[in-house]
Amino acid sequence: MIKIIAARYLTDFQIALTFSTGQEGVFNGRALLQRSGPLLEPLRSESYYSRVFIDAGALCWPNGLELSPARIYESCKILESA
């Protein structure tokens, strides 16, 4: 089972991620924010969105929103190894 082991906010709703596979990628949250819902509303503020953290391998925010690492992996841009 894939997990997120590191997350670092970049800019413009993008998060640099490291997965348990050793791969690195960038998650663009703009697609996520096109959806609606009470847990997504606070994330529309970039300062709140940047408070992202990892809990049990998932991408999380202080309001309780938790995104599956497998779904994040599928939707993020995986960076090529140098």
CATH number at residue 29: 3.30.2020.10
Q: What integer best gives the mean pLDDT of the chain?
A: 94
Q: Whole domain around residue 20: which residue ranges?
A: 4-78
Q: Please report which confidence band the pLDDT of residue 81 belongs to, taking 50, 70 and 90 as the band edges.
A: low
Share of the chain above pLDDT 70, in %: 98
Q: Is the pLDDT of residue 26 over 90?
A: yes
Average pLDDT value for residue range 63-82: 89
Q: Is the pLDDT of residue 78 over 90?
A: no
Q: Please report which confidence band the pLDDT of residue 80 belongs to, taking 50, 70 and 90 as the band edges.
A: confident
Number of domains in the chain: 1
37-63 exposure pattern, b = at least 16 Cβ within 10 A, e = fewer: eeebeebeeeeebeebebeeebbbbee
